[in-house]
Amino acid sequence: MTRWERWASKKTLEQNKTPLSFGCNGVDSYQGFVRVDCRDWSTDIRPDPNGGYSPYNIPIDSRFVPNNMLINGDFGRGRFVENENWSRISYSSTMHWSLVRDNPNSSNIFDRNHHLAMSCSTCLGNAVYQDVQRGSIPVGSILKFGGTVWSDKVGEMTITLFLRDASGAIKQRKDLVLNTGPRKQKFSSKITLTDNTVTNFRYTLYPATANTIFRADNLWLVRGP
């Protein structure tokens, strides 16, 4: 079930305000509160359609999902502004990137998912990344990261989580080398924070195969148990 509701106290509502029942079943009034708005996508969701449910169909801004420290990690906003959340490094050649739809010509609602596409003519050091502040995460915490990647032809990509200090020096890192192809694959890894001088994390995607379009979606970084 995927559902969003907004409730308000009867004391704060306008006179004669009635609970909103349309579009959502269940209780709409409880202990002095009433439901004034709701969204229910449950009837639109199919189990694992086409290899995974498209987050585009649930328009909840990723900034309101506190578990994932990456902003717009699913690219579900349908917009992409350089350095707003994601940035790129064009080291050995231009790091080409764009936000695309899985099936841009389809009218099917389940084909409206957005993902990141990237490529480079020479890929030594080229990358797409996002920086995340450590905040109050204590030493000893486990950081888990993952996502989904694929490419238009066989290639290689490295996913690296850097743990850096305030000067940008790398204090810890975790590398995950992936062999990619047209079939989508989910990946995940983890690292334990042991250095208290770390102030930020850099989630980085390194395409390693030249002239190959790599694709990424549903990227995440969380503090694990």
Predicted confidence (pLDDT) per residue in 102-139, tens digit: 776 766 655 667 889 999 999 999 999 999 999 999 99
Provide, rounded to the nearest whole percent, the portion of the chain with pLDDT above 70. Answer: 73
* Cβ–Cβ < 8 Å for 172, 192: no
Tokens of residue 5, six digits: 């509701």
Provide, rounded to the nearest whole percent, the portion of the chain with pLDDT above 90. Answer: 49
The residue that leads in pLDDT, 197 or 4, is 197
Q: From CA 54, how far away is CA 92, in angstroms rounded? A: 34
pLDDT of residue 32: 77
Residue 58, pLDDT above cutoff 50 = no
pLDDT of residue 41: 58
pLDDT of residue 48: 41
Q: From CA 188, how far away is CA 68, in angstroms rounded? A: 14
Kindly state the average pLDDT of the residues 136-144: 94
pLDDT of residue 23: 54
pLDDT of residue 170: 98
Domains annotated on the chain, with CATH: 3-42 (no CATH), 55-224 (2.60.120.260)
Nearest to 134 by CA among 73, 196, 212: 196
Predicted confidence (pLDDT) per residue in 188-216, tens digit: 999 999 999 999 999 999 999 999 999 99
Kindly state the average pLDDT of the residues 137-146: 94
Predicted confidence (pLDDT) per residue in 74-111, tens digit: 887 666 666 678 999 998 889 999 988 777 676 665 56
Phi, psi of 222 (to 5 degrees): -135, 160
Instruction: Look at residue 57 and give its three-state secondary structure.
Output: helix
pLDDT of residue 50: 43
Identify the DSSP state of 139: T
Q: From CA 214, how far away is CA 225, in angstroms rounded? A: 31
Predicted confidence (pLDDT) per residue in 11-52, tens digit: 665 545 555 545 566 777 777 787 777 766 554 444 444 444
Residue 118 gets the label, from left (phi > 0), alpha (psi -120 to 50) or beta, of beta
Exposure of 185 in the CB half-sphere (CA atoms within 13 A)? 17
The residue that leads in pLDDT, 158 or 39, is 158
